[in-house]
Amino acid sequence: MTSAVPEPSTGTRCPLCAAPGGLSVHRIGSLPVHSCLLMDSREDALAVPVGSLDLTLCDSCGYLANRDFDERRTAYSDRYEDSQAFSGTFVSYATGLADHWVSRWGLADGVIVEVGAGRGDFSRMLSAAGAARVVAMDPTIDPVRFGSADPRVEPLVRRFDVAADLPACDAVVMRHVLEHVDDPVALLTQLRTALAERPEVPVLVEVPDATRILDEGAFWDVYYEHCAYLTPATVTEMFESCGFEVRDLTLAYAGQYLLVEATPTGTRREPRLSSDRLETLRASALGFRDSVGEELQAWRERLEEARRAGLRVVIWGSGSKGTAFLVAMGDLAEVVDRVVDINPHLHGRFVAGTGHRIVAPDELAAAGCDLVVVMNPVYVAEISALVESLSPGAQVVGLGADAVGSGTHRG
């Protein structure tokens, strides 16, 4: 396909460098502002507040963000349920990451602060890896759900906003936080200030890699809660312009995540990106505009074929990816009978925006299915084994490159 004529963004200035304008890459007029809030009824799910998205590439620094994002529309609370700790695949990965960071940075017997700790799953893994004390900081912590099984993990129910909020520590961990932050300069500047006298303290970060999203046209990975879409070049620029030195940057989890290891040993400066890197990002962004249309059309055609054939279709994964996928399907979302999730805290709830019922895997044994669409291809092997035991013969397809055409996924 030929790329559409680039449109200027109608949104605000770049959140990183404050430059006006930019290339509007992808626009959605209406989408749920939350994908992971627990919805107790179909009526609640259909009544979830909506916002708009204008995914814009900055012409100056390459930062890719939703310029329509309004943090006041979000409502993070103890009803925010995004734990992945019920998947053996994910637990194996996260446990290995905790072990790696504790070993690499000599954090055995040290104190770690996890900013944005959610349900505390990774904080407990850091403790198990040898940390003497882990402070799990998050405004959405539910003390009852958090529990007290590990006395070395201390819940701290609040946000990190200013330098004084950060307890004394030997390392700071942030996993899947920065993509939710509309003002990354403010957050990282406060963190740099808090660590000004501790240059040896590493900041260990995990964020989704937008490179894969752009390359695959992964419309299911674009949603309101994620206001920032970071690539290796832009996440490095973000940290270094805020006074950090990026010590290591790697891809993880089948190329889905970026791992950033930085220390507060740099000097603050204006964000900048070379013309070559800007051009590469621009080409990827324009490619995304084409591939999104192709992916959407392919999946709509597949669901229409399933409807005509009378197939029983289920989605596996009720979180942000599942919500984004179903919302993007429009009227064809009704072809999907149920949404399966392994997280027991989601069973009996409903998907924000579409009202699909969320069920346990075991329900497939009673109701059966013909086609299972897995929202994250990383879990295809794990899910395929379950589906084969519960609904033998059902086809399992993972979202991703070539998934629609071949019935397979890219590993």
pTM: 0.91
- Residue 274 structure tokens: 């070379």
Specify the higher pLDDT residue, 34 or 206.
Answer: 206
Residue 267 above 80 pLDDT? yes
**Residue 100 banded pLDDT, cuts 50, 70, 90:** very high
Structure tokens at 402: 């070539």
How far apart CA 3 and CA 6 sit, in angstroms, is 8
Question: Which whole-number Å values give the CA distances from 136 to 62, 105, 186, 216, in the listed order?
Answer: 32, 19, 21, 34
Contacts of 386 (CB under 8 A, 6+ apart): 361
What was the pLDDT predicted at 408?
A: 31
Tell me the average pLDDT of the chain. Answer: 91
User: What is the 3-class SS of 330-381, one letter each residue?
Assistant: HHHHHHEEEEECCCHHHCCCECCCCCCEEECCCHHHHHCCCEEEECCHHHHH
**6-15, 125-134, 188-197, 213-222: which has the minimum mean pLDDT?**
6-15
DSSP-derived 3-state class of residue 75: coil
Q: Which of these ranges, 110-124, 140-154, 357-371, has the smallest mean pLDDT? A: 140-154
| pLDDT at residue number 11 | 53
Give the model confidence (pLDDT) of 309-331 as tens digits. 999 999 999 989 999 999 999 99
Residue 334 and residue 330: Cα distance in Å, rounded?
8
The model's pLDDT over 243-254, given as tens digits with 9 standing for 90+, comes to 999 999 999 999
Q: In a 10 Å sphere around its CB, with 0-12 CB exposed, 13-18 middle and 19+ buried, how is residue 325 labelled?
A: buried
Q: What pLDDT is stored for residue 77 in this prediction?
A: 62
pLDDT digits (tens, 9 = 90+) for 172-203: 999 999 999 999 999 999 999 999 999 999 99
Once rounded to an integer, what is the mean pLDDT over residues 138-145?
86
